[in-house]
Chain A
Amino acid sequence: MKTNDVPTTPTPLNEQYSLRVNGRDLPVQDAWIGESLLYVLRERLGLPGAKGACEQGECGSCTVIMDGSAVCSCLVLAASATDSEILTVEGLGPDGSLTDVQQAFLSAGGVQCGFCTPGFIVAVHHLLDENPSPTDLEIKEALSGNICRCTGYGRILEAVRIVAEQRSQES
């Protein structure tokens, strides 16, 4: 237990900056400089889609796209992301519509408790943008940083296959 190592100085809540999230500039006010991007998205910007489940980049539940890369937002200092373009699960399907990946997760049975789902949805979009027709092994490797405790991954694999197939037929 590490709580006794923390210094006991009060927490100044007086930082102000803005983040560019889902195409909008969002002001962050009265913040503590030590807050993670995950915390600021969830607690200050009203974007709770990214989830916290490990705080150390092991589970991928907090995955967002930052300047084109999939990152664990729990490992990014929010105040260091002021010059970045951030895309969260809330920004994927404009106007409340479902993306092909979201639709496939539903039809394939890739959702149970749903806690890992937003991180997976973001990671799958990123994967298929980078590699439109991945092999099963490439899918598994690309998503091996996202932990799911409910599904055993089988229906998620099926969802990704469905989208890859759909997109290849469309193109």
Chain B
Amino acid sequence: MSSLLTDQTTRPGTLGTNASRPDGVAKVQGGFAFSSDMWADNMLWGATLRSPHPYARIVSIDVTAAWALPGVETVITADDVPGKPTYGLIVQDQPVFAPVGGFVRYAGEPIAAVAADHPETCKRALAAIKVEYEVLQPVTDPEACISGVAAQIHPDGNIFRHQRIVCGDPDIVGDIQVEGTYQVGMQDQAFLGLEAALAIPDPGSAGVELYIATQWLHEDRKQIAECLSLPEDKVRLVLGGVGGAFGAREDISLQVHTCLLALRTGRPVRIAYGREESFYGHVHRHPAQIWMRHHADRSGKIVKVESRMVFDGGAYCSTSPAVLINGITHTQGPYKCDNAIVDGWAVRTNNPPCGAMRGFGVVQACFAHESQMEKLASILGMSPVDVRLVNAMETGDKLITGQVMDSVAPVAQCIQETADIPMPPPLDPNANELSVPGGTGLTALPSNIRRGVGWGVSIKNLMYSEGFDDYSTARCRMDNGIVTLKFATSEVGQGFTMLAQQIARTILGVDEVLLDTIDTQVGSAGSTSASRQTWMSGGAVDAACRAVLSDLLDHAASSRSLDRHSLTIEGTDVVDSSTGLRHPVAEIARGVAFDRTEEYHHPATEDLDENGQGNCHVAFAFVAHRAVVDVDPDLGLVKVVQIATAQDIGRALNPLSVQGQIEGGIAQGLGLAVMEEIVVADGKVRNPSFTDYLLPTFLDAPDVDIRLIEEWEPKSPLGAKGVGEPPCISVTPAIANAIRDAVGKELPRVPVRPYDICL
């Protein structure tokens, strides 16, 4: 059912308008309370001791000296965890603290935590804890896990998941073949708002309230309660202001530690990570190695795709099995393909744990298939646009999993509209030095700079997959005409709170919509991830508002003797279509109250069988990117000049927000293309700081020219598709392809480093 049936106007703040963010004023004034700003009377600071070794057995832990320091209130270790000693999103294989006699499996694994009167006291207490390690040789090579030569580093083994896809005729051979082996480096989400939480114990430590920046309050609560051995209703979570997420807040980090310290001391405790600790404290994007071979006929049509994908999941499972499935099921990209054979592995090593990051496995697959498309175009003498158009997927096509594409699939339109976007002017030989590769100092000779153009097109699944019912819940109350919405949807910056108000204003004909606290006092909303909240929580808010609307119209009919079936909402009026008379909603709603809670569930999906066949995904979105780059081939420096993009969004519920998501996603994809990588050597992160982990700055950001492809998605409750992930997926290979075009090198890995270009 559509939400615009009743309101096609552009009343301010309704769907389709650039409504104001409810958190906007507080955010520009500095008063918005992020989780790191939470404070309570009598509060202590908490801090975490972490392993310096990627793999070691803990022989002993001596906390005596830490306890003795003035200002230290408690020191806790694995012995102090009252409930389940491990946690995890899919498999609970990660210890709350590594125990004596047990193992640390990555550099940065928590061993103990302290609570004290000052952050500096905490640091000194951590330094006073004596841990004796038996240092072991870390397993860092994913291939050694697959072949079985690596030592088993966890009782669950070193393989998180192995899955094949066999589709059509695996032995068919195409006239043209192109192949390559591609690598994607480990990217960090690098949200700005560091991990932080405030835990407040109930009297007698019978329960705990946790203010936390997270993507999914209810999943956190489930895992925390198990570790604390408390019933879930004794663990109440409230969303602290979230300073970005991008996947890094899906897993437990400091939640259990903070609650344990508060319950142990009987006092509020805040833990706030610094940037270095944040690099150890959350999962990253999986580094991957992908071999791919495409078979095509002489017209460029893909005949078969073969691939082998290896994702390094690091020490603990997190979401590795789901990331793997996303990777392999997107092997074909946004292209028709009848035959495929794919072999995918996600493995455990002593490298940093990896899990969710914007794009979730599809980023890695897309870098490989879009690198391949460029090779295919080259060997056939076709343009990058034509080779993609000839293969462009359409609604009704069968995917390599056997699933039929039943989403709107405007792939050709995305490509064509992107191609129609004007190219930027050529490089001015007298350009300001800030606008050429290398920037200030004019390190590049303008006459040596080479310009390149590259393409990337992608497909991305929306919502959770493989049979998971990631429903969402919303409550709508209308009391004397005042509408209040309640949901547990994490607002991480994407603007869901704004969208929820837009939905309520549109459906209920009111201008003011209040938002209740985002916490666990209402049903689950599922995670703010997988580009799913506009669809899922938008669907739940839509349903709750429609239920209240129905009650309101019932009341209007009965209290004023109107024909119920003639009543609709137009603007801020209830309109009787039989008479044309209008009754302001505010008048109809006076003196009455309605309260409805609704869940939204997407259609059920299936597991994959042993050949990777099954309807495992809910829906898909598409996007095309064209990158223009300037490259200094002598120093290997790149300036991304322009990104042109057309994105399949269903419908723009808030055009300015869509633009912000697209521009922000492009910047993250640019980061992976040319600068962002967690460098790991022998299991240790070598660059855990913003000095050494490079993020795109204002000067690195390209001009972005956007076309929105708005074709209503019939399966979506609001007609809209999620827009968060697609922008960051194919922009990375588009930029890599543009650099290849400029310098004529294969460049099989991202990020493309200066020495990859110039040596």
Q: Do A and B come from one complex?
A: yes
B716 beta carbon closer than 8 Å to chain A: no
B537 beta carbon closer than 8 Å to chain A: no
* B192 with A113: CB separation less than 8 A: yes
In the complex, chain A residues whose CB is within 8 Å of the CB of B690: 53-54, 56, 58-59, 147
**Contact with A149, one of B25, B244, B432, B659 (Cβ below 8 angstroms):** B244
Cβ of B677 to closest chain A Cβ, rounded Å? 16
B159 beta carbon closer than 8 Å to chain A: no
Q: Who on chain B is nearest to A142 by CB? A: B698
B712 beta carbon closer than 8 Å to chain A: no
Known contacts A4-B127, A59-B690, A115 near B28 by CB under 8 Å: no
Cβ of A113 to closest chain B Cβ, rounded Å? 3
Within 8 A of A (CB), among B1-53: 18, 20-21, 23-34, 36-37, 39, 49-50, 52
The DSSP consensus for interface residues of chain A is loop
* B192 with A5: CB separation less than 8 A: no
* A90 with B244: CB separation less than 8 A: no
Known contacts A48-B37, A49-B30, A115-B193, A55 near B697 by CB under 8 Å: no
* A10 with B667: CB separation less than 8 A: no
* A115 with B24: CB separation less than 8 A: no
Cβ of A121 to closest chain B Cβ, rounded Å? 6
Within 8 A of B (CB), among A27-61: 32, 34, 39, 42-43, 47-56, 58-59, 61
**Cα of A93 to Cα of B28 in the assembled complex, Å:** 10
0 or 1 for each of A142-165: is its CB under 8 Å from B? (1 = yes): 011111111111111100000000
Within 8 A of B (CB), among A67-126: 88-90, 93, 96, 98, 102, 105-106, 109, 111-118, 121
* A144 with B657: CB separation less than 8 A: no
Within 8 A of A (CB), among B54-77: 65, 69-71
In the complex, chain A residues whose CB is within 8 Å of the CB of B665: 152
**Cα of A146 to Cα of B690 in the assembled complex, Å:** 12
**Cα of A89 to Cα of B36 in the assembled complex, Å:** 17
**Contact with A102, one of B28, B32, B50, B668 (Cβ below 8 angstroms):** B28
Known contacts A113-B492, A113-B493, A151 near B120 by CB under 8 Å: no
Known contacts A137-B434, A152-B667, A61 near B192 by CB under 8 Å: yes
Known contacts A11-B71, A55-B274, A113-B243, A140 near B695 by CB under 8 Å: no
A141 beta carbon closer than 8 Å to chain B: yes
* A153 with B667: CB separation less than 8 A: yes
B316 beta carbon closer than 8 Å to chain A: no
**Contact with A144, one of B33, B34, B698 (Cβ below 8 angstroms):** B698
**Contact with A153, one of B69, B663, B691 (Cβ below 8 angstroms):** B663
**Cα of A96 to Cα of B25 in the assembled complex, Å:** 10
Cβ of B116 to closest chain A Cβ, rounded Å? 9
**Cα of A115 to Cα of B704 in the assembled complex, Å:** 23
* A143 with B698: CB separation less than 8 A: yes
Cβ of A62 to closest chain B Cβ, rounded Å? 11
A23 beta carbon closer than 8 Å to chain B: no
**Contact with A106, one of B28, B71, B280 (Cβ below 8 angstroms):** B28
In the complex, chain B residues whose CB is within 8 Å of the CB of A13: 117-118
- Residue among A53, A61, A118 with the highest chain B CB neighbour number at 10 A: A53
* A146 with B192: CB separation less than 8 A: no
**Contact with A109, one of B31, B65, B494, B657 (Cβ below 8 angstroms):** B657
- Residue among B20, B23, B24, B440 with the highest chain A CB neighbour number at 10 A: B24
Known contacts A8-B127, A117-B28, A152 near B664 by CB under 8 Å: yes
Known contacts A109-B656, A152-B704, A50 near B30 by CB under 8 Å: yes
* A150 with B664: CB separation less than 8 A: yes
**Cα of A54 to Cα of B23 in the assembled complex, Å:** 24
* A115 with B434: CB separation less than 8 A: no
* B663 with A140: CB separation less than 8 A: no
* A6 with B32: CB separation less than 8 A: no
Within 8 A of A (CB), among B491-505: 492-495
Known contacts A3-B49, A102-B28, A154-B659, A140 near B192 by CB under 8 Å: no
In the complex, chain B residues whose CB is within 8 Å of the CB of A141: 434, 440, 698-699
B565 beta carbon closer than 8 Å to chain A: no
0 or 1 for each of A128-148: is its CB under 8 Å from B? (1 = yes): 000000000101110111111
**Cα of A89 to Cα of B243 in the assembled complex, Å:** 17
In the complex, chain A residues whose CB is within 8 Å of the CB of B666: 152
In the complex, chain B residues whose CB is within 8 Å of the CB of A43: 39
**Cα of A118 to Cα of B24 in the assembled complex, Å:** 11
* B27 with A114: CB separation less than 8 A: yes
In the complex, chain A residues whose CB is within 8 Å of the CB of B69: 8, 10
Q: Who on chain A is nearest to B27 by CB? A: A114
* B65 with A114: CB separation less than 8 A: no
* A151 with B663: CB separation less than 8 A: yes
Known contacts A3-B123, A49-B29, A144 near B23 by CB under 8 Å: no
Cβ of A44 to closest chain B Cβ, rounded Å? 11
* B495 with A52: CB separation less than 8 A: no
* A114 with B36: CB separation less than 8 A: no
0 or 1 for each of B192-233: is its CB under 8 Å from A? (1 = yes): 111000000000000000000000000000000000000000
**Contact with B193, one of A96, A102, A113, A153 (Cβ below 8 angstroms):** A113
* A6 with B21: CB separation less than 8 A: no
* B28 with A111: CB separation less than 8 A: yes
In the complex, chain B residues whose CB is within 8 Å of the CB of A8: 65, 69, 124, 127-128
Can you show 18 pairs from A to B with CB atoms below 8 A apart?
A2-B276, A3-B49, A5-B127, A7-B127, A11-B124, A32-B118, A50-B30, A51-B34, A53-B194, A54-B275, A58-B689, A59-B192, A112-B244, A115-B493, A144-B699, A152-B701, A154-B663, A155-B656
Q: A98-B25, A118-B29, A149-B191 are in contact. List 8 more A-B contacts (CB 8 A).
A: A1-B107, A6-B127, A10-B121, A56-B275, A106-B25, A109-B18, A150-B493, A153-B667
A residues in contact (CB < 8 Å) with B? 1-11, 13, 32, 34, 39, 42-43, 47-56, 58-59, 61, 88-90, 93, 96, 98, 102, 105-106, 109, 111-118, 121, 137, 139-141, 143-157
Closest 5 CB pairs of A and B: A49-B30, A113-B493, A114-B27, A115-B243, A152-B667
